[in-house]
Structure 1
Amino acid sequence: MKKLYKTFTILSFCTLSLTAMSQDYEHYDSREQSWNRQKNIHQKSQKGSNIFKKKDFGVILALNSFDAAYDMPDLNTWQSRYVALQWRRNHKLLTGRQVDVALGTGLEIAWNNFMMQHDEQFYEDGNISDFELLEYPLEKSKLVVNNLNLPVMLQFGFKESNFKFGIGAYAGVRINSYQKFKESEQEKYKEKGSYNLRKYNYGLMAEAGRGDFRIFAKYDMLPLFNDNNPINANVLSVGIRL
């Protein structure tokens, strides 16, 4: 009888142990499956979202300078500004877990301001333009060139750091140009003219940064004035895009 009781006790203990182990395993397996499902959902969600917005509006603020200048007037660099309003549509090329790639196309309205260092002005004489020193002092003298540009940019975005950079090109047309003067007695006036400026231009651009803040650079491949002009220069603009 004692042996039977002992055997029954051992069998009961083993049964209870196996039942507990089975429940623990099922609970662990359920938790592991749930964790795997959440991980897969997170990975799919991360892979499915693209760092680049479908539509992107930016404001560009930069400084202008002359590169490879030929007999051009000296500029006040800190007041020679490039300002542009840029509308961009991003076409998603690749959506990955770590890196996204998109092609940005759009429209840009830009103003190139060239502030003279001295009391000078541009003048137009037939098919050429040149500049001359004025006999009276000026507080400000600048040439403004208004362009309509079509930029195309290949962009790369890194999800973990939210870092983006892009390289591209643009083609543009001049839609307006004028000179603006401010005399010492606060009198202001403006003179419109083509000044033998190039009608069409194209160039290269690049940007890099985090989020919506990026360092911006742009270079005109063709000189500012037509090829027959006695003065000429390519324009380089460096600044930020917000």
Structure 2
Amino acid sequence: MNILLLGYGKMGKTIEEIAVSRGHQVIGRIDNQMESKEAFNKDNTDVAIEFSQPDAAVENISWCLRMGIPVLSGTTGWLGQRNEVVDLCREESGTFFYASNYSLGVNIFFKLNEFLAKVMQRFPSYDIQMEEIHHTEKKDSPSGTAITIAETIIENIGRKEKWVEGVANFQAELGIRSLREPNVPGTHTVIYSNDEDSIELKHIAHSRRGFALGAVLVAEWLPGKKGVLGMDEFLDL
């Protein structure tokens, strides 16, 4: 499979290493918006993997859709423009896959988080807090993964209406504490607590390889698919 990398930071390099080890060819590495994409098209590119920066993601994804190249993105911090990308994908009959996190373990964690939230809806004495820890180079805060977790909780627990960064000041708020520490790939914790006890649900990433492997597995699955897709379709849990 011929893969184009849009974004060639630490994640892009790890994706390349895993893709090559699985027999694929990386035919291009575009690391900034000044580099030309003219050499790449749907005839020589099976899939594009987009892990760039929030200010570049929409342009990168849109270019792929217009070129007819299936694209998967893991860039966070740009989702305020998601609707225009979704609309373009449908207009172009394209293929767009998005996940805030490609780790298989994290996506199992998402499902456990959803199940636990549905259970805890029945027990209003428990307040809910979240914490996420990432490396100091991470640009967005809270992380896209933390926002995904929070939105699932809000969908399933009526007493929470919105998430806020930091400490929640009102019962209807879900607070997300964001910490940045050296060399932390990603840790996410959901805490339900009352005066009697606490319940914690936690995922700890030990390296970037889990995220990168998930992205390559999705890239292998994506050709031939159409529409706006995500990890629910890929995992079919």
Q: TM-score range by the shorter chain?
A: under 0.3
Higher strand share: 1
TM-score, normalised with respect to structure 1 = 0.25
TM-score, normalised with respect to structure 2 = 0.26
Q: Larger Cα Rg: Structure 1 or Structure 2?
A: 1
Q: Which has the higher contact order (CA 8 A, sep 6+)?
A: 2
